[in-house]
């Protein structure tokens, strides 16, 4: 008869009795519990931004001595990188650069050797490495204020808006679009044609939409998607998915 191996696991819970001292081992267990919980919650997700990094903008008015300046601060967030979950502290105030119409990109970088997190605002021409995650991009002209509200799809790609189309969000199996984009799509459709609420289906119940669900949905609606940038990578760029959402919203709005 085959033997079935049974392994007993002891479940331990912290007990804070009065007068007792917490040992180093107990403190380490307390530290590891939330990390283990996050790894369980997001184990099915791909690498990418999970949640958080919500922006707040600050405007310093022009004075006789100094030109008008803008800065942005990001809240803390969660990223999955190399299949490991990181709880990332928020940024300090990041200078947005001069309002000269040049496109800039807001990045988060995770050090490959030490895991150190760095935020930076850099010109769009710079390439993005595998350990870098784009939070958003913007292009400000003189007198423009950076906008971080997404009331509809058209608003997202305006130059003075923090464009999140190219941000790589964690999805089921593969990276996907930001849930804020899906929410803006729903708002756009319902504003033009409220009767389409039934057609929205999964867009209403789950805003972390699977990449392949989006692909199949667009094919079913007769919308052609742009081919992948890299022949060895079957995933289409975020811009292609976003353009398809805009086309679908236009089609439904005209129906």
- Tell me how many domains the chain contains: 2
On whether residue 4 sits in a domain, the answer given is: no
Both 148 and 53 in one domain: the answer is yes
Both 106 and 194 in one domain: the answer is no
Q: Characterize the bridge pairing of strands 117-123 and 94-95.
A: unpaired
The CB density around residue 57, as the number of other CB atoms within 10 Å, is 15
**CA nearest neighbour of 71 among 93, 89, 90, 100:** 93
pLDDT of residue 138: 92
∠ at Cα 173 (168, 175), nearest 5°?
A: 10
On whether residue 27 sits in a domain, the answer given is: no
Both 202 and 247 in one domain: the answer is yes
pLDDT of residue 128: 75
Q: How far apart, in whole angstroms, are the C-alpha atoms of residue 161 and residue 179?
A: 17
pLDDT of residue 40: 86
Structure confidence by residue, pLDDT tens digits, 110-166? 988 888 899 999 888 767 788 899 999 999 887 788 899 888 898 898 888 999 999
Both 194 and 147 in one domain: the answer is no
pTM score, whole prediction: 0.83
**Identity of the highest mean pLDDT range in 22-31, 161-170, 200-209:** 161-170
CA 163 remoteness from chain centre: 11
In terms of pLDDT, which residue wins out, 8 or 23?
23
On whether residue 43 sits in a domain, the answer given is: no
Both 148 and 243 in one domain: the answer is no
Q: How far apart, in whole angstroms, are the C-alpha atoms of residue 251 and residue 180?
A: 21
Structure confidence by residue, pLDDT tens digits, 29-59? 666 667 777 888 899 999 999 999 999 998 7
Q: What is the 3-state secondary structure (H, E, C) of 77-130?
A: EEEEECCEEEEECCCCCEECCCCCCCEEEEEEEECCCCCCEEEEEEECCCCCCC
Q: How many residues does the chain have?
A: 255
Identify the domain containing residue 120 by its residue range: 48-156
Q: Which residues contact 91 (CB under 8 A, 6 or more apart)?
A: 72, 73, 74, 119
The mean pLDDT of the chain is: 83
pLDDT of residue 159: 81
On whether residue 8 sits in a domain, the answer given is: no
Is the pLDDT assigned to residue 20 strictly greater than 80?
Answer: no
Q: In which band, very low, low, confident or very high, does the pLDDT at 197 lie, cut at 50, 70 and 90? A: confident
On whether residue 172 sits in a domain, the answer given is: no
Contact of 91 with 119, CB cutoff 8 Å? yes
Both 97 and 61 in one domain: the answer is yes
Q: Treating both helix axes as pointing N-terminal to C-terminal, what angle do 179-192 and 238-254 enclose, rounded to 10 degrees?
A: 10
Q: How far apart, in whole angstroms, are the C-alpha atoms of residue 246 and residue 198?
A: 18
Both 59 and 145 in one domain: the answer is yes
Both 189 and 135 in one domain: the answer is no
Question: Above pLDDT 70, what percent of the chain?
Answer: 83
Both 186 and 248 in one domain: the answer is yes
Is the pLDDT assigned to residue 180 strictly greater than 80?
Answer: yes
pLDDT of residue 232: 63
Both 59 and 110 in one domain: the answer is yes
């Amino acid at each position: 008869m085959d033997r079935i191996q049974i392994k007993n696991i002891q479940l331990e819970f912290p007990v804070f009795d009065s007068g007792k001292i917490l040992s180093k081992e107990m403190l380490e267990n307390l530290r590891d519990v939330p990390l283990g919980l996050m790894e369980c919650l997001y184990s099915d997700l791909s690498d990418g931004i999970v949640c958080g990094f919500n922006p707040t903008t600050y405007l310093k008015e022009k004075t006789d001595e100094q030109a008008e300046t803008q800065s942005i601060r990001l809240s803390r967030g969660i990223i999955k990188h190399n299949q490991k979950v990181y709880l990332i502290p928020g940024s300090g105030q990041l200078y947005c650069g001069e309002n000269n119409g040049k496109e800039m990109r807001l990045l988060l970088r995770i050090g490959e050797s030490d895991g150190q997190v760095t935020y930076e605002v850099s010109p769009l021409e710079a390439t993005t490495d595998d350990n870098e995650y784009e939070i958003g991009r913007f292009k400000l002209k003189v007198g423009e204020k950076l906008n971080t509200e997404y009331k509809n799809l058209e608003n997202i790609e305006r130059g003075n808006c923090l464009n999140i189309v190219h941000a790589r969000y964690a999805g089921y199996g593969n990276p996907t679009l930001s849930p804020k984009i899906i929410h803006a799509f729903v708002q756009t459709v319902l504003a033009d044609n409220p009767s389409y609420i039934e057609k929205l289906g999964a867009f209403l119940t789950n805003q972390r939409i699977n990449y392949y669900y989006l692909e199949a949905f667009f094919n079913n609606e007769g919308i052609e998607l742009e081919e992948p940038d890299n022949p060895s990578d079957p995933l289409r760029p975020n811009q292609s998915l976003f353009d398809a959402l805009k086309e679908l919203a236009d089609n439904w709005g005209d129906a």
